[in-house]
């Protein structure tokens, strides 16, 4: 498929060819679901923790004598049934991360790229950088493509440190390299700006020659 390439001023420059298998394939909703869930699970810190009756710092003494009170037997005040006692089945630190099959992840990314084209959220922009690293220069370029500060993803052809620096103070903008894309950002980004070099790289990176 062919698509337009725009200048940083928002003017049409030329057309480039995108790999149909990457940008115009049938969308797999199942793989997208698994890829997004995997990313969210891998980000969880899993540090929630509660103390059991064996860990709380409380008295070991019996709250009252064993017999003659009419109450049920009680060993100590660390029991979960007492105020200040331990917690039953409370959370403990754990690792929520898990590995997603590579073929599923690749299928999800191709589906998300195709979905962005289908929903007309993807715009190809000529390669550019911000040599000064100043936010105002990048913001001036974004004004030509992003209205009302919509959630935006900028996809780079390489790891451009100065461009990333310029993007730090723009709250609605996420910047990622073509080979480190986030399924979550591709799914929820209302505007996806992709540098021309990144589009050419993705044509090869997710082609059938590399896998599913």
**pLDDT level of residue 60 (50, 70, 90 thresholds):** confident
Identify the pLDDT of residue 211.
47
Residues 70 and 172 in one domain: no
Identify the pLDDT of residue 149.
86
Residues 183 and 81 in one domain: no
Residues 64 and 36 in one domain: no
Residues 142 and 167 in one domain: yes
Last residue of a domain, one of 70, 90, 110: 90
Residues 110 and 36 in one domain: yes
Compute the mean pLDDT over every residue in the chain, rounded to the nearest whole number. 91
In the chain, what are the helix, strand and coil shares in percent, each to the nearest 5? 35, 15, 55
pLDDT in tens, 145-191: 988 888 999 999 988 899 999 999 999 999 999 999 999 999 999 99
Last residue of a domain, one of 58, 90, 122: 90
Residues 194 and 110 in one domain: yes
Residues 38 and 133 in one domain: yes
Which CATH number does the domain housing residue 151 bear?
A: 3.40.1370.10
Q: Are 199 and 131 in contact (CB under 8 A)?
A: no
Q: 141: which DSSP letter? A: H
In sequence order, the 6+-apart residues with CB closer than 8 A to the CB of 73 are 66
Q: Give the number of domains in the chain.
A: 2
Nearest to 191 by CA among 144, 153, 157: 153
Residues 128 and 200 in one domain: yes
pLDDT in tens, 9-33: 989 889 999 999 999 999 999 999 9
Whether the model clears a pTM of 0.85, i.e. scores above it, the answer is no
Give the range of the structural domain holding residue 145, as residue numbers without chain letter.
2-45+99-210
Residues 130 and 27 in one domain: yes
């Amino acid at each position: 498929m062919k698509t337009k390439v725009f200048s940083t001023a928002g003017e049409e420059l030329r057309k480039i060819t995108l790999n149909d298998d990457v940008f115009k394939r049938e969308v797999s909703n199942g793989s997208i679901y698994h890829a997004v869930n995997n990313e969210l699970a891998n980000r969880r810190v899993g540090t929630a923790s509660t103390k059991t009756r064996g860990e709380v710092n409380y008295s070991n003494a019996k709250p009252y004598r064993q017999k003659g009170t009419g109450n049920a037997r009680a060993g100590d005040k660390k029991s979960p049934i007492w105020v200040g006692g331990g917690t039953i089945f409370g959370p403990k630190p754990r690792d929520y991360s898990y590995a997603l099959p590579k073929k599923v992840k690749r299928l999800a990314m191709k589906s998300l790229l195709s979905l962005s084209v289908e929903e007309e959220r993807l715009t190809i922009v000529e390669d550019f950088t911000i040599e000064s690293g100043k936010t105002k220069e990048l913001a001036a370029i974004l004004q030509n493509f992003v209205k009302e500060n919509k959630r935006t993803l900028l996809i780079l052809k390489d790891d451009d440190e100065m461009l990333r620096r310029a993007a730090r103070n723009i709250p609605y903008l996420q910047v990622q390299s073509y080979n480190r894309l986030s399924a979550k950002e591709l799914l929820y980004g209302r505007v996806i700006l992709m540098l021309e070099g990144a589009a050419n790289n993705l044509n090869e990176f997710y082609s059938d020659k590399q896998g599913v």
